[in-house]
Amino acid sequence: MKEAIYSIDVDAGKDLRGFNSFGVQASAPAFTSVHSPREIEAVARAFNPDDLLILGGGSNMLFIGNPQKFVLHNQLIGRGIMSRTGNTAIVAAAGGENWHDLVTWSLRMGLGGLENLSLIPGSVGAAPMQNIGAYGVELSDVLHRVRAMDLKTGKWVHFDAGDCGFGYRTSRFKTVDRGRYFIAEVQLQLTINEHTAFTSYGAIKQELAIRNIIKPTPADISTAVVAIRKRKLPDPKKLGNAGSFFKNPIVPRKTYQHIRERFPDLTSYPVDDQNVKIPAAWLIENTGWKGKRLGQVGISPKHALVLVNHGKGTGQEIWALARQIKASVLERFGVELEPEVNLIGDLPQ
Ligand code: EPU
């Protein structure tokens, strides 16, 4: 501790089961909910970033053990339209807001841009960390600015979209600056009248066709995305999960062609001249893991990329299953899967 803190309440031994969407047990040595900028300023004065763990909606993390850190639950709330210029509205939302609530609010305000990102679990503050994405849109496409507390210097800072180090499911906040910034506010650049519809994703096209919609509004696209996600992904409130457990691997074209000679149905998404991205779900399904259950943990029968907790599973059991899946995919296809979820706690060997 750098100095004593008197302005926040701290819980010792807090049970984190209700704070992670896998619903696994873990205990925090110390825990506090951050409700105001003042509170995070006090924490930054008292602690070093290495001693802190920032928790948002807990929908993209797996506790493999107890975090040996002071856990900060981002509960900053508030949202609003900051400016309107031409066809562009800048919207600001506090980091503790629920992501999907922000999406539905923006649609009620008549704004476009977030519809493809409907029903993604988690908080606003966590969205830039892994550059959330779905159905052809990523957060980086609509992000204007991130405001954060630098826990190292105790100063407020901001990052424009180009400074966030965004990539496929990654950012500076998840890599080089992991744990350094407490994301207090996310500002988004949305459209007011003329909206761009991103409907090239096959499943969206089909959903709109079923509803006879030719010129979809942002709200129509959101409805389609919600329907697809409800069908394909298990609801974390009913069955513990963190969405896609692994990233879709980026492999050399040669590797893709080699696999495709044996499995002509393997699809790919272009990355650059040398590499393509291939679906991890396909690799997992084709090693026979989809729908399997090992005791209290398993793989969703709806989607092969979603590992689930049937109720009493532990983080270590989920991680052990993930490692078995990883080994099968490596053995059969020679492709290394990398987790998309953040692993918290010491990794058992
Ligand atoms: N597939 C299978 N078996 C399955 C499911 C899918 O073989 O059980 C194959 C199909 O060939 C399908 C392909 O995998 O065409 C891709 O599947 P899907 O369209 O469901 O997308 P994904 O690549 O598995 C990614 C994101 C999701 C996002 C969807 C839609 C990652 C790691 N995941 O999944 O994001 O919702 O695209 O855009 O990039 C998340 O990050 O938690 C997440 C759910």
d(CA 114, CA 110): 11
What was the pLDDT predicted at 348?
57
59: helix, strand or coil: coil
Q: How many domains does the chain have?
A: 3
End-to-end CA distance of the chain: 31
Position 186 in a domain? yes
pLDDT tops 80 at residue 25: yes
- In this structure, the answer to whether residues 148 and 173 fall within a common structural domain is yes
CA of 281 to the centre of ligand 1 (A): 6
d(CA 77, CA 178): 23
**Of 301, 256, 300, the residue nearest 279 (C-alpha):** 256
| pLDDT, mean of residues 223-233 | 97
One domain for residues 25 and 90: no
Distance 117 CA to ligand 1 centre (A): 14
Q: Which atom of ligand 1 is nearest to the CA of 244?
A: 42
How many Å apart are CA 41 and CA 46, to the nearest integer?
A: 9
Which range marks the domain in which residue 169 is found?
A: 79-191
Instruction: Mark whether 244 is an active-site residue.
Output: yes
Q: What is the CATH number of the domain that holds 142?
A: 3.30.465.10
Under 8 Å between Cβ of 209 and 301: no
What per-residue confidence (pLDDT) applies to 346?
Answer: 73
Q: pLDDT, tens digit, for every residue of 72-129?
A: 999 999 999 999 999 999 999 999 999 999 999 999 999 999 999 999 999 999 999 9
CA distance 307 to 34: 30
Output the domain CATH number for residue 68: 3.30.43.10
Q: Whose CA is nearest to atom 41 of ligand 1?
A: 244
Asked which of 32, 59, 74 is the last residue of a domain, the reply is 74
Specify whether 68 is located in the same domain as 85.
Answer: no
Residue 242 to residue 341: CA distance in whole angstroms: 7
The CA 260 to ligand 1 mean position distance, Å, reads 18
Q: How far is the CA of 313 from the centre of ligand 1 (A)?
A: 24
Residues 187 and 264 in one domain: no
Q: Report yes or no on 137 lying in a domain.
A: yes
Long-range contacts formed by 168-173: CB under 8 A, 24+ apart: 168/131, 168/133, 168/138, 168/247, 168/248, 168/250, 168/277, 169/130, 169/131, 169/132, 169/133, 169/247, 169/340, 170/130, 170/131, 171/128, 171/129, 171/130, 171/131, 173/128, 173/129
- Same domain for 92 and 182, yes or no, is yes
pLDDT band at 202 (very low <50, low <70, confident <90, very high): confident
Catalytic residue among 79, 147, 169, 180: 169
Tokens 């053990």 sit on residue:
65
Q: Of 74, 94, 123, which residue sits at a domain end? A: 74
Mutate to test the pocket of ligand 1, among 118, 131, 244, 285 (most ligand atoms within 8 A of CB): 244
Same domain for 130 and 33, yes or no, is: no
